[in-house]
């Protein structure tokens, strides 16, 4: 691979990746065929059903779902809901084989950029207290810990950490939020 192309690749994925070019686009119902076999593996007890995704995708007004792909290969997904000035990240998942190559970071940045476009002033999320990879990803992207929801997961057994990203109106979008 030429020096040039490899530079471009790093720019797209935000990592020193060996993946071919990663592209983000809105999720379609047809993507569920590729996603559902990995849903349980990625989210365990928090996995969503196909019907849940269908319901989510049907609401294009408040909700915004993305896929990351490389060629025709699904790498990950992310979803956001925006109500008034508050956006919430509903899901971010990267297939195990594609992890630690910047795909999760790319998805989070794109969701934050969409929240900004929708005029939100903050982006909230919940993450399992035992999910260090996700907490580190969000912290690295500028989310701060807001608090804890006791027993939010697994019938009261696992707490959620709530995190918040403030969207500043007096600044331009962060350069790293991808334009779409
Ligand atoms: C969390 C998740 C989305 C991260 O996706 P990813 O594509 O591997 O993440 P990235 O490569 O973009 O990582 C970006 C940064 O996040 C942090 N991070 C990601 N995975 C990590 C891990 N396993 N351990 C420690 N830090 C991690 C690092 O700071 C990383 O930067 P670095 O690679 O330069 O050190 C992925 O592990 C996943 O899908 N997990 C299962 C589903 C899930 O838990 N989703 C979140 C629900 S709230």
The answer to whether residue 61 sits within a structural domain is yes
- Residue 35: the pLDDT is 98
Work out the pLDDT band at 2, boundaries 50, 70, 90: very low
Does residue 113 lie in a domain region? yes
Domain span including residue 117? 3-166
Give the SS3 label for residue 65: strand
Note the pTM of the prediction, 2 decimals. 0.89
Q: Which two tokens stand for residue 43?
A: 């989210």
pLDDT at 10: 40
Query: Is there a domain that residue 177 lies in?
Result: no
The DSSP code sequence of 100-168 is: TSSHHHHHHHHHHHHHHHTT-SEEEEEEETT-HHHHHHHHHTT-EEEEEEEEEETTTTEEEEEEEEE--
Domain with 61 in it: what CATH number? 3.40.630.30
Task: Please choose from 24, 69, 133, 134 the residue to mutate so as to test ligand 1's pocket, defined by most ligand atoms within 8 A of CB.
Answer: 133
Task: Show the tokens assigned to 135.
Answer: 């907490």
For the segment 83-107, the average pLDDT, to the nearest whole number, is 97
On whether residue 172 sits in a domain, the answer given is no
* Residue 136 beta carbon below 6 angstroms from any ligand 1 atom: yes
pLDDT at 147: 97
| Total number of domains constituting the chain | 1
Whole-angstrom Cα distance, residue 102 to residue 22?
10
If you average pLDDT over residues 46-53, what whole number do you get?
97
Q: Do the domain assignments include residue 173?
A: no
């Amino acid at each position: 691979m030429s020096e040039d192309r490899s530079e471009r690749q790093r720019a797209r994925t935000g990592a020193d990746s060996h993946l071919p070019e990663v592209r983000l686009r809105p999720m379609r119902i047809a993507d569920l065929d590729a996603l559902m076999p990995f849903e349980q593996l990625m989210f365990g007890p928090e996995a969503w059903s196909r019907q849940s995704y269908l319901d989510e995708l049907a609401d294009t007004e408040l909700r915004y779902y993305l896929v990351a792909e490389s060629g025709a290969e699904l790498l990950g997904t992310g979803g956001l809901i925006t109500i008034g000035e508050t956006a919430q990240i509903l899901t971010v998942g990267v297939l195990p084989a594609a992890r630690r190559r910047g795909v999760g970071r790319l998805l989070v940045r794109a969701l934050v950029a969409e929240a900004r476009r929708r005029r939100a002033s903050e982006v909230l999320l919940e993450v399992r207290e035992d999910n260090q990879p996700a907490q580190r990803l969000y912290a690295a992207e500028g989310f701060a810990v807001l608090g804890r929801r006791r027993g939010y997961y697994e019938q009261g057994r696992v707490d959620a950490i709530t995190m918040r990203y403030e969207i500043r109106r007096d600044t331009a979008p962060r350069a790293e939020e991808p334009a779409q």
